[in-house]
Structure 1
Amino acid sequence: MAEPTDEPAPPDAVPAQPVVVVDDPAAYREAVRRIAEGDGPIAVDAERASGFRYSQRAYLIQLFRRGSGTVLIDPTAFPDLDDLAAAMSGAEWVLHAASQDLPCLREVGLDPERIFDTELGARLLGFERVGLGAVVEQLLGLHLAKEHSAADWSTRPLPKPWLVYAALDVELLLDVRDHEARLLEEVGKSRIAEEEFEAVRTRQPKPAPTEPWRRLSGVHTVRGSRNLAVARELWLARDAYARAVDSAPGRLVPDASLVAVARTPPSTKRELASMRSFNGRASRSEIDRWWSAVETGLTTEDLPAARVPSDALPPPRAWSDRNPEADRRLKAARPRLVRIAEDLDLPTENLLTPDVLRRLAWAPPQPVDAGTVAEALEEQGARPWQVVATAQAIAGAFVEADQTPVDEAEASS
C-alpha cells in the first residue's frame, strides 16, 4: 500500500479556449491564417486509430502557436493540407516522441525543417519518467490526463472529452520545450540535443520486409514448409481483407488463430469452422476466404523456406560459445559505456544504441584504435557527440579484451 502523503495533488490542466474541430473550408482558411500570423515554434501532435484501422493515417492533427491559439484539424475532411504546410514552413516544430507522429504527418504533406522532441529532451536530461503526463507534472506542476491515448480517433463526431485531451497535448508543449531548452543549456547538452533531434527528423524508415507474413506472432512454432505455406496464405488473405475494409488485421482474426490453423491444418471447410481456436469477429463470416487460403497453402508448389537468411546477430548469451572473442569485447566495453552515461546523466541506450555496440564487438575494425572505431561508429549512424564520447573508451576496451587470455576472461566473467 502506498504511503500517505501530505503533498497536494497537482491541479488538472484545462484548455485555454473552447475546443472545436476544423472540418470545413472556411474554418480551414481561418486556421491557416491564425497559424501563419502566430509567433515562434509550433507545437504539433497527431492522433491515429492504431488497433482499430488498417492504416496509420492521422485522424486528427493538433497545433498550438503563441499568438495563434489551438487548432484541431480533421485531415480526412480536406483533399490536401498544402496551405497549412506553407504556413508552418520555416518554424521549429515541437513534438513529444516525434518518431511516432512524423510518418503520418508526412503522409498528408506536413514535413518539418527542424524539430524539438520533448520526450527525447527529457531522456537527455535524465528524467526517470518521460511520458508527456509525467514531464508536464515535473516541469509545469500540472496533471495531464492521458486516458484517451488509445481511443479510436477515426470516430466521427469526436467526443468532447477526447478533444479536450487532444488540445492539452499541444497547449502545454511550448512551455515544456522552453523549460527543457533552459535545462539543457544549463547542463551543457544543447548541442547533443540538437544532433539527436536532427537524427530523429532525418531518420529513414526501415525497408519493408520481403516476407512480412513471417512477423506473424507465434509463427516460430509452425513446423515444416507446408504448414508455413498455410500460415503465409492465411496472413496474405487477412491482410488483403483488412486493407479493403480498413480494419486492424488482428481485430478480424487474431494472430493466434492463424497460427493454430497453420500448425494443424484442417482437411475441410467444416473442420475449419468448427475449430475453437479459430476465432475473431470475421472468422466465421469470411469462412470461404480463410478456407480458400488454407487450400492454397496445402496445394501450392511455392513452398517457403523453413529458415531465411538474416544479418541479425545471435543473442549475447550465445556469444561465449559462438564467438568468445566478441563476447569478451562486449563484456569489456559495456561497463565503460555505463560509466560514461552515468557521468553524462542520461540512459546508456541514448549514449549508444546496444545494437551498434554489439555489431562493433562482433566484427571490430582493424586495426582497433580510436580512429578506426570512430569511423565504424559513424558508418553505423552514431551522431558526432556519441562518437566523441565513446570511441576512445570502446577502442580501449576492445584492445584490453583481445589481450586477455581466454581462461582469465572466463574466470572474471
Structure 2
Amino acid sequence: MSGADQPTGVSEQLELRAAPVEGVPDIVSDPSGLSEAADAVRCGRGPIGLDAERASGYRYGQHAYLVQLRRKGSGTWLIDPVACPDLTVVDAAIGDGEWILHAATQDLVCLAEVGLRPRLLFDTELGGRLAGLPRVGLGAMVEHYLGFRLAKEHSAVDWSSRPLPEPWLRYAALDVEVLGDLRDAVAEDLERQGKLGWARQEFSHLLSFTGPEPRVDPWRRTSGVHKVRTRRGLAIVRELWQDRDALAQRRDVSPGRILPDAAIAELALEHQRDTRPPLAVASKEPRLARSIRRNEDLIVDAIRAAFALREDELPQLNLPHTGPPPPRSWADRDPIAAARLARSRELIGAVSEELAVPVENLLTPELLRRYLWEAPPAPTTEEVAQALRTAGAREWQVTITAPLIALASNENPVPHAG
C-alpha cells in the first residue's frame, strides 16, 4: 500500500532505518581517493545510484556540496566536490552505465557542473508518478515498495559546512543505499502496469535537461511584487533585487539571507509614490527591521538609482504577453477555443484517472493551451500528433492525447449566447 492508502499508524509501525547497512564510508577529498572511487565504480556491476546534496537557502546557486554513489560490487562512496571539483574520472568509470536518481531534475545540473553526465537514466520519483503513487518523495516510496522508513531529519541542513557531521553523512549514505532496490521495485511495478516503455521515453527525454528556462526579468518573481502598483515602485524592486543578487553572489550566500523578499516588497510599497528618494529607511516589522538596518546603505543607494531613472526607463507594470492568454479570458476572446480547451481537459482528465497517471504527465497544461489557441479549425489526429511532437511531447503522450484533442476539436461546440 502507498502511504496515502495505509491505515493510520501503519507508517509509524514500519522499521526505521537510521543508518546504512554497510556503515558510513570516509569522504573522498583528494585525487588518490577519487581514483580509488573511480576504480571501484568501474569494477562494479549494474546501475549506479547517485545523489547530490546542495546548500539551498544557505549558499548562492544550487551547487553540489556532497556527491554520493553506490553500485553493486563497488560499495558506497561519498565525494567532496569542493575538494575534488572535477569528477570526470568517475564519469568515465561509469561510462554507459545506467544512473538511478530520485527527482533527477533537482540534481542533473549540479552534477554536470562537476563533470558527471548520464548516458542512461532511471528516475525513481518520475517512475512513481507514472505508476500512480499519490506520494513520491523518497521516504514515501521506500515505505511503499521496500517496507521500511528512512530517517530524513537532515534533508535541509547546510551541506556547505565543513567538516560534515557524522549523522549527516549517515543520512547521505543511506539515501543512495536504497536506490538500487527502489529502482528494481519501481521498474517491476511499471512493467506490470504496461508503463515501463512510457517511463523509458521520459527518462531518455531527461538526458537533455540542462536546467529551467531562464526567466525574463527574474526580479518580477519577488514575493509580494504583485502589490506594487506603480512603475517607480517596480523600479525600486528591480534595483533592490539586482543589487542584492550581486552582493549575494560575491558573498556566496542565499540572497534571502541578505534581504528577504518581504523587505524588498515593503520598501517598494512604502516609497513607490514618493517624489524623491528617502535619506534613510526602516521597518516596523521586527523580522525585517534588522536586515533593513544592516543593509541600509545598499537599500538607499538602490532606491536612489530607481528615482534617477527617466520615465521611459521605468519597467512596465506588466511584461508583453507571449503565447496564449490566460484560460479565464478565452471565453470572451475565442469561445470556440475555450470550448475545445474545456472538452480536451475533460477527456484527458478522464484518461488520467483511468490510467492513474497525473494529467501533467500525460501532457503539460502549457503545451495543450499553446496548441489549442493556435489550432486549425478541424485538425486530424495525425495533424494534432505532429504538432505535439514538434512541441516536444513524447511518443507515448502523443499516442494517448492526440486522438482526444482531435475529438474535442471536431465536436463543433457552439458557445452559449451571452
State if a TM-score over 0.5 links the two structures: yes
Please report the RMSD computed on the Cα atoms of aligned residues, expressed in angstroms. 2.2
Q: Say if 1:24 and 1:77, in contact at 8 Å, map to a contact too.
A: yes
Is 1:16 equivalent to 2:21 in the alignment? yes
**Deviation, structure 1 residue 132:** 0.7
Is 1:87 equivalent to 2:87 in the alignment? no
| Structure-2 residue corresponding to 1:294 | 303
* CA deviations over 1:184-206 (Å, ceiling 9, x no partner): 22222121111011112213534
Distance 2:198 2:61 in 1: 34
> Which AA in structure 1 matches 2:21?
A
Structure 2 counterpart SS, 1:407? coil
Q: Which moved more, 1:47-56 or 1:283-292?
A: 283-292
Is 1:47 equivalent to 2:58 in the alignment? no
| Structure-2 residue corresponding to 1:393 | 404
- TM-score where L is the length of structure 2: 0.91
Distance 1:278 1:309 in 2: 35
* CA deviations over 1:306-326 (Å, ceiling 9, x no partner): 222121533323322232212
Distance 1:219 1:7 in 2: 41
**Deviation, structure 1 residue 97:** 0.5
Q: How many correspondences in the alignment?
A: 406
**Deviation, structure 1 residue 170:** 0.8
| Structure-2 residue corresponding to 1:110 | 116
> Which AA in structure 1 matches 2:330?
W
**Deviation, structure 1 residue 143:** 0.7
Distance 2:8 2:116 in 1: 47
4+ residue runs over 6 A deviation: none
Q: Say if 1:82 and 1:109, in contact at 8 Å, map to a contact too.
A: yes
Q: Say if 1:119 and 1:131, in contact at 8 Å, map to a contact too.
A: yes
Distance 1:393 1:298 in 2: 53
**Deviation, structure 1 residue 16:** 2.2
Equivalent of 2:389 in 375, 378, 387: 378
Equivalent of 2:237 in 223, 231, 243: 231
**Deviation, structure 1 residue 366:** 4.9
**Deviation, structure 1 residue 277:** 7.6
Distance 2:150 2:11 in 1: 17
> Which AA in structure 1 matches 2:15?
P
* CA deviations over 1:223-280 (Å, ceiling 9, x no partner): 2222221111111110111111111111111111111111222756653146648926
| Structure-2 residue corresponding to 1:256 | 262
Structure 2: state its 5+ residue gaps: 1-5
Distance 1:294 1:393 in 2: 53
Is 1:369 equivalent to 2:380 in the alignment? yes
| Structure-1 residue corresponding to 2:288 | 279
Structure 1 counterpart SS, 2:15? coil
Q: Say if 1:91 and 1:113, in contact at 8 Å, map to a contact too.
A: yes
> Which AA in structure 1 matches 2:79?
I
Structure 2 counterpart SS, 1:93? strand
**Deviation, structure 1 residue 8:** 7.3
Structure 1 counterpart SS, 2:100? strand
- TM-score where L is the length of structure 1: 0.92
Matches within 5 A, 1:6-405: 9-13=13-17, 14-19=19-24, 20-265=26-271, 271-273=280-282, 276=285, 279=288, 282-301=291-310, 302-400=313-411, 403-405=412-414
Aligned CA distance change for structure 1 residues 119 and 5 (closer, same or farther; 3 Å): closer
Distance 1:357 1:218 in 2: 29
Identity %: 47
Structure 1 counterpart SS, 2:77? strand
Aligned CA distance change for structure 1 residues 127 and 235 (closer, same or farther; 3 Å): same
> Which AA in structure 1 matches 2:140?
A
* CA deviations over 1:339-390 (Å, ceiling 9, x no partner): 2223322222211111122222222135411011111111221100111111
